[in-house]
A and B are shown apart, each in its own frame.
Chain A
Amino acid sequence: MNRTIGLLTANYSTSGFGTLTEKRPPACIPFGGRYRLMDFALSNMVNSRISTVGLVTPYYYRSIMDHVGAGKEWGLDKKEGGLFILPGTVFGLKEENAHLLLRDIIHNSNYLARGDGDYILVSGCSLVYNMDYQPMIAKHELQGWPITILYRKTKHGEKHRGYYLTLDENGTVTGIQQGKEGENLFMDCFLIDKSFLLRFMRDFRALGYMDFMDIVRQNLDMIKVNSWRFDGYVGYTDGLEDYMRSSLDLLNPEVQQELFPADRQIRTKIHDTPPASYVPGSVVKNSMMTAGSVIEGTVENSIIFRNVRVEKGAVVRNCVLMEKCVIKAGAWLEYVVCDKNVTISPSTCITGSPEHPCVLAKDAVI
């Protein structure tokens, strides 16, 4: 069997998050109560039996290193393979909406050339989904083309900035366009033959500043590109509105089942907090709650991270409260995203809207 190694690009940013990404890459945005966005891509890789993963780090890499450590929780602290921390090339720059700059690959060609794998699965870190890559890898291997691109069919009215694919009836990629809407949306993930990639790097070295997908797009007549469609749930986090929607999607039991099946768990850094405590008087409806929290007030349609405290009489609706937030007695929050360790003073009222959730910066005291 051919071996696949992973390359995870955690070094790109978007501007749509405001203070949430002031000191952390989007890859590290807390999501879903106890995860960070990158957990999904990284877990998908290890759950697909990819046991060598290179992680391209961004300028603000403290939170990434804090989170992944030696890769223990993902089973990547190994003798054979494991987690490799790779420097990104975008240091000092803000690369907006890039997917994979060729120079990031060139910069880390040693990791790729080590001889560990025959295929390289390249993925961004911002999508929320749970997928077994093995069938896609098997098809890639069987067909023998150099690149297989992962995409999904968009739903009616859906708008996301990204690359859209034109496919023929066999799923061959005949065109790639950048845009805001379309039918076949690239999922920031593709599989490529290592030998092809190493050759590609040599041939296009001068275009290192370009996005890998743009180079492929311009050379589709020379490169055979296949596609693989993913039909499951995908949560987007391109900006605050998307983040809010994807967070609240987690309250749908079907989405929960898809994202967190028992046999393909999303793994994350373990904090080992005590159980959540519900104090008399608490009212909690339709919410995702995490261990370590103490709830005395009302929580509805919300995502509560660990060690959050909602005091008596406080009301939290349609909110995302990250770890260690304290909502004091009588405060009222609707459509608010609280970054870590935010304290809301007693009887304070803050409301946003689904389209424009109010975001409170880390450590804020309001």
Chain B
Amino acid sequence: MRKKECVAMLLAGGQGSRLGILTQEIAKPAVSFGGKYRMIDFSLSNCVNSGIDTVGVLIQYKPFLLNKYLGTGAAWDLDASWGGVHILPPYATQTGGEWYQGTADAIYHNIDFIDSYNPEYVLILSGDHLYQMDYNLMLDFHKLMGADLTVAVKTVPLEEASRFGIMTVNDDMRIVKFTEKPKEPDSDLASMGIYIFTWSVLRQALLRDHDDPQSDRDFGKNIIPGLLGEGKNLFAYVFSGYWKDVGTIPSYYATQMELLEANPEFRLFDTRRRIFSNLNEHPPHFIGGEGCVERSLVCNGCRIYGQVKDCILSPGVTVEAGAVVTDSILLPESSVGAGAVITRTIVNEGAAVGAGARIGREDKITVVGDGSTMEV
């Protein structure tokens, strides 16, 4: 039977409730980031740059924009004849149908899909992290260690460790303990939510987990502790590059603002490991005679007649004359009316800030959607 070495499964079904207004209408992986990108671009581009050409995208919450954005996968060169992007929603069967109950359940319901590619390994990813990573290096490590499961981990300051899933390892990086959000962490290795499983092992674990009525159907809570308990070979792979979880408003805001620094850690302009996106249909942007742009990232299709400083402007944004926009992120097709003054504000996709409006305060991040506002 024809075989793929490694198939990636991207968990994109979560609501991302911590992003509030931003995920009111769209799934978290579809949220705009860094101007022209959407969060899912980073994981998808990593796949392509790592030579993984088969990606199943598990969707559930508000999938319309995400589906439209992914299209055939051509924007990431993932329109392959055997492989490519596959959108995998919950589905009905002869005996009924149900929503994905958890991360592991989503994979469980797509065992047939994975089997159709007959892979040796399955890479599990999530769509809300900012990082550039060569998954091949992790896969090499997985093979070298003869692992059943390799978890990518990142060193975090010990005082922050209680926010993460923490891996305790022995000298050869074998995982001996896994604690979700420990009160008193004994290790500083945090799970990045990136797993490589040997498919036969994961397949068995999923089937067993499905028969357990007590299970939450979650990788972190059930599958990983289960495999650990069985004495399987679990290893931690330490990733030393830049990695940020951008699933909360403060981290979403702060990570993007870091992109404006002189030498940002996350290298958007790196031509060797490019980030691909699917928002490329606009004409160049225009800065009017009275417009002014300072220390900002600006995408095509923007029209700037006002003042913009320390901002990220996504495609198709309009800033009218007399408006002053500082320390803000304007998402695609949003606009700021004449004379409006906004600061430290995220303006949601398509939202319009009225002329003369005053929005934002120095000590909070304000998020503006059409008809709703929140402060974090």
Instruction: Tell me the A residues contacting B by CB distance below 8 Å.
Output: 32-34, 72, 251, 253, 256, 259-260, 265-267, 270-272, 274-280, 282-292, 294, 303-304
Instruction: For B287, give its contact among A267, A277, A286, A294 (CB under 8 Å).
Output: A286
Instruction: For B288, give its contact among A253, A260, A270 (CB under 8 Å).
Output: A253
What 1/0 flags go to B67-95 for Cβ under 8 Å of A?
00000001100000000000000000000
Interface band, chain B? 20 to 34
Q: How far is the CA of A266 from the CA of B299 in the complex (A)?
A: 17
Q: Shortest beta-carbon distance, B375 to chain A, in Å? A: 27
Instruction: For B294, give its contact among A34, A278, A304 (CB under 8 Å).
Output: A278
Q: Is B229 an interface residue (CB 8 A)?
A: no
Q: Shortest beta-carbon distance, A146 to chain B, in Å? A: 37
Q: How far is the CA of A287 from the CA of B297 in the complex (A)?
A: 16
* Contact in complex: A291, B36 (CB < 8 Å): yes
Q: Which residues of B contact A285 (CB under 8 A)?
A: 287-289, 291-292
Binding site of A, secondary structure by majority: helix, strand, loop or mixed?
Answer: loop
Q: Is B35 an interface residue (CB 8 A)?
A: yes
* Contact in complex: B289, A286 (CB < 8 Å): yes
Instruction: For B280, give its contact among A72, A270, A279 (CB under 8 Å).
Output: A270
Q: How far is the CA of A289 from the CA of B304 in the complex (A)?
A: 11
Besides A275-B298, A291-B36, 17 new A-B residue pairs in contact (Cβ under 8 A), listed by A number: A260-B283, A266-B283, A272-B75, A275-B35, A277-B297, A278-B293, A278-B297, A278-B298, A282-B293, A282-B294, A283-B292, A284-B293, A285-B289, A285-B291, A289-B298, A290-B285, A291-B285
> With contacts A33-B284, A290-B284 known, is A276 near B298, CB below 8 A?
yes
A-B contact count (CB 8 A): 99
Instruction: Tell me the B residues contacting A by CB distance below 8 Å.
Output: 34-36, 74-75, 262, 268-269, 274-277, 280-281, 283-289, 291-300, 303, 312-313
Q: How far is the CA of A259 from the CA of B276 in the complex (A)?
A: 27
Q: How far is the CA of A155 from the CA of B299 in the complex (A)?
A: 35
Closest residue to B76 on the A side, CB-wise? Answer: A272
Q: How far is the CA of A290 from the CA of B280 in the complex (A)?
A: 11
* Contact in complex: A289, B299 (CB < 8 Å): no
* Contact in complex: A288, B288 (CB < 8 Å): no
Q: How far is the CA of A266 from the CA of B312 in the complex (A)?
A: 25
* Contact in complex: A280, B35 (CB < 8 Å): no
Q: How far is the CA of A271 from the CA of B283 in the complex (A)?
A: 13
Q: Shortest beta-carbon distance, B342 to chain A, in Å? A: 18
Q: Which residues of A contact B297 (CB under 8 A)?
A: 274-278
Q: Which residues of A contact B35 (CB under 8 A)?
A: 274-275
Could you give 8 example pairs across A and B, Cβ below 8 Å? A253-B286, A275-B34, A275-B313, A278-B297, A284-B291, A288-B286, A290-B300, A291-B36
Instruction: For A274, give its contact among B275, B289, B296 (CB under 8 Å).
Output: B275
- Per CB-CB distance, the 7 closest pairs between chain A and chain B, nearest first, are A33-B284, A275-B35, A275-B297, A260-B283, A290-B284, A286-B289, A274-B268
